[in-house]
Structure 1
């Protein structure tokens, strides 16, 4: 039933604030189960809908990895294709700029096409309006679990990039969790702005870079300006050691994820 409801939400383009686009008979039909069987699990439709909200809010649907795996892959591929540039400070600086410029736009584009994200926004905005206190707390807990999962995985990604690209946190940033939270807020906030003012958000920015003009998406450049205030070049960077550590971490993560 929960899987069937998720498919219907996906087809509808996201969750409406009041669940009106989810008909209980349609969910029964989609799931292919008898009403009598469902009532052994959920005594009322309201019980089912609360479980559904928790399911949509939590990692079950929002995901247990970083938000967009294609973004992670793009960043890693850029580094792999230009690994020789890591040997010089100027090369690392330019590589970092290009990783952010390309990967942050991919992340933004993925966000805008994500039914899961639109549902997450709807639930986050309306969870405190649920009339039943117990239901409200359950849905809120699911949202918080999804957020912790996202922040943890993005922080790991930033730590990997810091190792190979030769930067470290500034003292006031304290942890990559802070970077992940700030970065996500900028990109997701820009996503909400795009819904209302796409002509402003999607207008390319021509930015003067170290090697000439660069074209940036507003979401990517906004993220870059935030990132600059939280990181700095690592004066103790060792190319060979950094690359070996980075590759070892990637291998460990792929092994843990079952990637061969």
Structure 2
């Protein structure tokens, strides 16, 4: 049925809508559906997503949309593929938040970087405050809720090609997320003069996998046990100068860091390195720093 047949009483001059290609129609409709999911979250399944509402929000012809997806099941299959391809266990902490956190810690301890104790205190504060910030970001993230529901939806799919495709796409997204975390840990460790403990048996991918797992595990537990959000322990898990109040996420991150990382004895802390360290810490968010960007002195 044409657009004119759908609206027989329309009068007055109208501008003929440019006919979209099948590919552009699909892109607009899927983009609109993804935006709707990210706003409202994904339930276990897609029953709360109306194909008609998606078509209206995408601003495409209803005829073109149904030509692309003659059955709604075909559309929901493509939507699941799109969600799985872009899925992440949590939205990354924004660059602004990361920069502000690092700059605040460095400003409070700017005079301490020349001593090993001062640098350890700096690392301790970055772990303590950074882990709590990451946990809060996950807790408030619509992407996190969508990721959980997508995992449950995937498990409920019948065996077949669609399930295999979603499984593979989720695996790729998960690996990309872990790779980004590993890059962030390696960048910051090298910048602050740390290295992997040779006897630990791990690497930065192992660190990232464990760090991601413990943060997500706590996020799951908090759904039914919200008191965990505010639980604090006074302690000194990093061997800093003083004890402090640590969240559970911070204690988990500290245990991982202390297990796998140690000060690098080959790093020379001269004035030039200290000056560059301050400049980098105050200006570059850790998530964006390349793994090989840390200055080294022989």
Equivalent in the alignment of 2:126: 99
Equivalent in the alignment of 2:227: 199
Higher helix share: 1
Equivalent in the alignment of 1:169: 196
Q: Helix, strand or coil for the counterpart of 1:232?
A: strand
Offset at 1:93?
1.0
Equivalent in the alignment of 2:243: 213
Alignment pair present for 1:183 and 2:208: no
Gaps of 5+ in 1: 256-260
Gaps of 5+ in 2: 1-28, 291-298
Structure label with greater radius of gyration:
2
Change (3 A) 1:178 1:106: same
What are the Cα deviations for residues 187-246 of structure 1, in whole angstroms up to 9, with x where unaligned? 111001111111134222222463333112111222211221121221112234587599
Q: 1:76-87 residue pairs with structure 2 within 5 A?
A: 76-78=102-104, 80-81=106-107, 82=109, 84-87=111-114
Equivalent in the alignment of 1:230: 260
Change (3 A) 1:135 1:2: same
Equivalent in the alignment of 1:69: 94
Counterparts of 1:164 and 1:79 in 2: how far apart (Å)? 15
Indicate the RMSD between aligned Cα atoms, in angstroms: 2.9
TM-score by length of 1: 0.84
Counterparts of 2:249 and 2:168 in 1: how far apart (Å)? 29
More divergent stretch after superposition (87-96 vs 74-83) = 74-83
Q: Helix, strand or coil for the counterpart of 1:86?
A: coil
Counterparts of 1:134 and 1:243 in 2: how far apart (Å)? 56
Change (3 A) 1:226 1:120: same
Aligned length: 251
What are the Cα deviations for residues 59-103 of structure 1, in whole angstroms up to 9, with x where unaligned? 3x649x972234543454256534553322111111111001111
Q: 1:1-260 residue pairs with structure 2 within 5 A?
A: 1-12=29-40, 14-59=41-86, 62=88, 67-70=92-95, 72-74=98-100, 76-78=102-104, 80-81=106-107, 82=109, 84-171=111-198, 172-208=200-236, 210-239=240-269, 240-241=272-273, 244=276, 247=280
Counterparts of 1:46 and 1:201 in 2: how far apart (Å)? 39
Counterparts of 2:102 and 2:190 in 1: how far apart (Å)? 12
